[in-house]
Amino acid sequence: MSAEVRLTRDAAEVAAALALRADVFCEEQGVPLDADRDGLDDDALHVVAIDGGELVGTCRVVLDGAGHARFGRLCVRPDARRRGLAAALLREAEREARAAGARRMTLHAQTSALDLYRRSGYESEGEPFDEEGIEHLRMSRSLS
């Protein structure tokens, strides 16, 4: 993997991350745009994967200020998948959450991606549930 994985640097990169989310979640997976845009993006940490000057992956972390972080909105452009970018985005998100004082990370994993999260030390909590027509499972792990 040759992509640079890091926090967004400016509003243009955040806009590109939101556009990729719209492509993947809304166009590809059928999630309504208003479900993706939940009002938390302005306060979130946005992590991106940049390859050849193009944004090819993104995710976000929402911090609650009490040692907890919520990971989500992980997506990779279709032509950049299967290169380890999702795992790299998750690792960088964990690093940034730790640096911001988070001790625990939770997420809602699409069940098709459970292996990624299990390999990264996440444990299932509860039963699968439907979120926007896609089966998910709540997972979490300690960041300490």
pLDDT, tens digit, 9 for 90 and up, residues 123-135: 999 999 999 999 9
Give every residue of the chain whose pLDDT is below 50, as ranges: none
pLDDT at residue 100, rounded to an integer: 95
Global pTM value: 0.94
pLDDT at residue 93, rounded to an integer: 98
pLDDT at residue 144, rounded to an integer: 85
For residues 81-116, one letter each, b for 16 or more C-beta atoms within 10 angstroms of the residue's C-beta and e for the rest, the string is: eebebbebbbebbbebbeeeebebbebebbeeebee
